[in-house]
């Protein structure tokens, strides 16, 4: 009996290793990410799926990465590339903030991302949304897509799942929404994207960044908003 | 590291277009944009009508190669009118869709076109059928197609309700097409809608300046 278990276990291990050997894909965040500005801060959100080929390597990933106390980034594209860039920018921003002896601007963080993504555009595959709050300009969202452009937008979506929700975001976004409205809007948009995009799924992670600090939430699969399904 | 490749998802071979069909209380609305493009930078026609009437109360719209689509619809129109004469009654929407499906499936190697067939018949009322690239036939309460459709999946999933009224369905279709045309550079022009009910077939054109505007316009 024990020998049988051991055989099955070894076989299973071999199968997993073989699977990974043949899949030969690096970890990617073909994902859905979103950020919205509101009066007093920003709401950021992401799905939670990391894939290596067809295997979901992590179904509860946290793609909302803190860069500084009140500055976050949402990562999409190659998991390795975005982690490396985020680590580098976190270091550079921390250093800059100490030199300045005050909280860094969101625009500074975005510029650092842009510098790196543009300089190494041939090697990298990273689409990043930088969002946060600073005392000078309040809540801001900057998008740094693949290629290394940077632009500020009141609402920005990214990742593979974003294509499916451009129409929804265009029609439902209004300037001047409250924090709760922004949270609901983000959760609904990400749910719709996750429903249509095979590379997005899992839970919805949300964070609100404002003068008061950071509040994080998770919306689990069975608590996601439901849309009319026929 | 993999070579630097485009970040947008694979589009397949779709005509630069956005098409949709939606069922409402008492009929169907089938709609499309009006742009024909050669490559991604030349608009060969601003006002082409992609809604093809294959019988009195049955319309088709096409996604894919325009040449293939025209050949298939022409054949389908002929076969359908022949069938209708033999049966001595208006054809079923499913019959029209089945004819398309036969043609697409049997010639799947050569053809590259998908269809949305929508209409009204006495047996089942308003119906929408999708015949996809390889020849699958599927009945759905609403459906979207073409390159511009990727941008409005979220919108139509959120906004569709079964049994809408004519006004709601018209607003829904116009909004969806306008949103897709706003994001897809190979869809554009005017919105063509055809409303098919038991009583009549009505062709509505919404010109560019009457299209709904959204927050960033």
- Residue B13: the pLDDT is 40
Question: With contact defined as beta carbons under 8 Å apart, do B52 and B60 qualify?
Answer: yes
Question: Which of A7, A18, A31, A191 does the annotation list as catalytic?
Answer: A31
Count of residues for chain B?
A: 217
Cα torsion A80, A83, A86, A91: sign:
negative
Fold of A27-219: 3.60.20
Closest-CA residue of A relative to B214 is: A171
Residue of chain A with shortest Cα separation from B153:
A164
Tally C-beta pairs within 8 A across A and B.
Answer: 78
Cα–Cα distance, A193 to A33 (Å, whole number): 9
At A2 the pLDDT is 75
* Mutation site, A36, A161, A165, A167, interface B, largest B CB count within 10 A: A167
pLDDT at residue number B8: 31
pLDDT attached to residue A21: 44
Residue range B55-79: average pLDDT? 90
> Taking CA atoms, what residue in A is nearest to B143?
A230
Q: What are phi and psi of A30, to 5 degrees?
A: -75, 105
Q: Give the distance, in angstroms, between the CA of residue A183 and the centroid of all CA atoms in the same chain.
A: 15
DSSP state of A4: H
Residue A9 is predicted with a pLDDT of 62
Per the structure block, which two tokens stand in for B50? 């992609």
pLDDT digits (tens, 9 = 90+) for A126-144: 999 999 999 999 999 999 9
The residue assigned the tokens 């689990």 is A220
Residue in B46, B99, B54 with CA at minimum distance from that of residue B74? B54
Cβ–Cβ under 8 Å, residues A200 and A63: no
Are A174 and B176 in contact (CB < 8 Å)? no
Q: What confidence tens digit (pLDDT) does each residue in A64-101 have? A: 999 999 999 999 999 999 999 999 999 999 999 999 99
DSSP E strands: which ranges in B40-139?
A: 42-45, 51-55, 58-64, 113-121, 125-131, 137-139
What is the overall mean pLDDT for chain B?
Answer: 88
- Phi then psi dihedrals of residue A61, to 5 deg: -65, 150
The verdict on a CB contact (< 8 Å) between A125 and B7 is yes
- What value of ipTM does the predicted structure carry? 0.80
Mark yes or no for CB contact A168/B155 under 8 Å.
yes
Distances (CA, A) of B212 to A103, B41, B141, B187, B188: 42, 25, 24, 16, 13
Q: What percent of chain B has pLDDT over 70?
A: 92
Q: What separation in angstroms does the CA of A107 have from each of A7, A137, A139, A206, A210?
A: 57, 9, 11, 21, 15
Q: Which of B154, B155, B173 to mutate to test the interface with A (most CBs of A within 10 A)?
A: B154
- Residue A47 near chain B (CB below 8 Å): no
Q: Which residues in chain A touch residue B152, judged by CB atoms under 8 angstroms apart?
A: 164, 166-168
pLDDT band at B44 (very low <50, low <70, confident <90, very high): confident
> Which residues on adjacent β-strands are paired with residue B144?
B20
Q: Does B105 touch chain A (CB under 8 A)?
A: no
A161/B150 Cα distance (integer angstroms): 10
B103, exposed or middle or buried, with CB in 10 Å at 0-12, 13-18, 19+? buried
Provide the token pair at B203: 């062709």
Q: Which residues of chain A have pLDDT under 50?
A: 18-22, 230
Say whether A213 sits in a helix, a strand or coil: strand
pLDDT (average), residues B28-37: 90
Tokens of residue A131, six digits: 């969002």
Region B72-94: what's the mean pLDDT?
Answer: 94
Q: Is B168 on the interface with A (CB under 8 A)?
A: no
**B215 touches A175 (CB < 8 A):** yes
Q: What integer is the mean pLDDT of B14-35? A: 90
Closest by Cβ to B180, choosing from A146, A167, A192? A167
How far is Cα B104 from Cα A217, in angstroms, rounded to an integer? 48
Domains along chain B with CATH numbers:
19-209 (3.60.20.10)
| Among candidate residues B136, B138, B146, the one with its CA nearest the CA of residue B118 | B138
Minimum Cα–Cα distance from A229: chain B residue: B157
Which residues on A lie below 8 Å from B171 (Cβ)? none
The structural domains of chain A, with segments of one domain joined by +, span 27-219
Residue range B132-137: mean pLDDT, rounded: 90
pLDDT of B9 > 60? The answer is no
B133/chain A closest Cα distance in angstroms: 19
**Catalytic residue flag (residue A191):** no
Do A196 and B154 count as a contact with CB atoms less than 8 A apart? Answer: yes
**For residue range B110-132, what is the model confidence (pLDDT) as tens digits?**
888 889 999 999 999 999 999 98
Q: Which structure tokens are listed for A88?
A: 């580098």
């Amino acid at each position: 009996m024990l020998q049988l278990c051991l055989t099955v276990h070894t076989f299973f291990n071999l199968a997993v290793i073989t699977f990974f050997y043949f899949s030969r894909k690096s970890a990617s965040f073909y994902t859905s990410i979103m950020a919205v500005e509101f009066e007093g801060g920003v709401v950021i959100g992401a799905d939670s799926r990391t894939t290596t080929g067809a295997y979901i390597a992590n179904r509860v990933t946290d793609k909302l990465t803190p860069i500084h106390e009140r500055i976050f980034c949402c990562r999409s594209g190659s998991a390795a590339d975005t982690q490396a860039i985020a680590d580098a920018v976190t270091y550079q921003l921390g250093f800059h903030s100490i030199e300045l002896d005050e909280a860094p601007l969101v625009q500074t963080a975005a510029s650092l991302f842009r510098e790196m993504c543009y300089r190494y555009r041939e090697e990298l595959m990273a689409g990043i949304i930088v969002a946060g709050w600073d005392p000078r300009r309040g809540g801001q969202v900057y998008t740094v897509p693949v290629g290394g452009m940077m632009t500020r937008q009141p609402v920005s979506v990214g990742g593979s799942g974003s294509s499916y929700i451009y129409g929804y975001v265009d029609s439902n976004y209004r300037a001047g929404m409250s924090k709760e409205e922004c949270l609901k809007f983000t959760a609904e948009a990400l749910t719709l994207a996750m429903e249509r995009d095979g590379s997005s799924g899992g839970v919805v992670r949300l964070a609100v960044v404002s003068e008061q600090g950071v509040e994080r939430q998770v919306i689990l699969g069975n608590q996601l908003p439901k849309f009319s399904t026929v | 590291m993999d070579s630097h490749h485009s970040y947008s998802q694979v589009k397949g071979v779709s005509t630069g277009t956005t098409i949709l069909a939606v069922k409402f209380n008492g009929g169907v609305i089938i709609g499309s944009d009006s742009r024909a493009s050669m490559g991604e930078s030349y608009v060969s026609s601003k006002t082409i009508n992609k809604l093809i009437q294959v019988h009195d109360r049955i319309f088709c719209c096409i996604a894919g190669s325009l040449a293939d689509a025209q050949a298939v619809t022409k054949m389908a129109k002929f076969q359908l009118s022949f069938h209708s004469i033999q049966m001595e009654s208006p054809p079923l929407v499913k019959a029209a869709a089945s004819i398309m499906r036969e043609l697409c499936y049997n010639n799947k190697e050569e053809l590259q076109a998908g269809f949305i067939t929508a209409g009204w018949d006495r047996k089942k009322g308003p119906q929408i059928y999708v015949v996809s690239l390889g020849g699958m036939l599927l009945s759905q309460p609403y459906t979207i197609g073409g390159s511009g459709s990727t941008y409005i999946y979220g919108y139509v999933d959120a906004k569709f309700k079964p049994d809408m009224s004519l006004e709601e369905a018209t607003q829904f279709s116009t909004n969806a097409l306008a949103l897709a045309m706003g994001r897809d550079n190979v869809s554009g022009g005017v919105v063509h809608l055809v409303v098919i009910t038991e009583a009549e077939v009505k062709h509505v054109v919404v010109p560019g300046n009457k299209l709904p505007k959204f927050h960033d316009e």
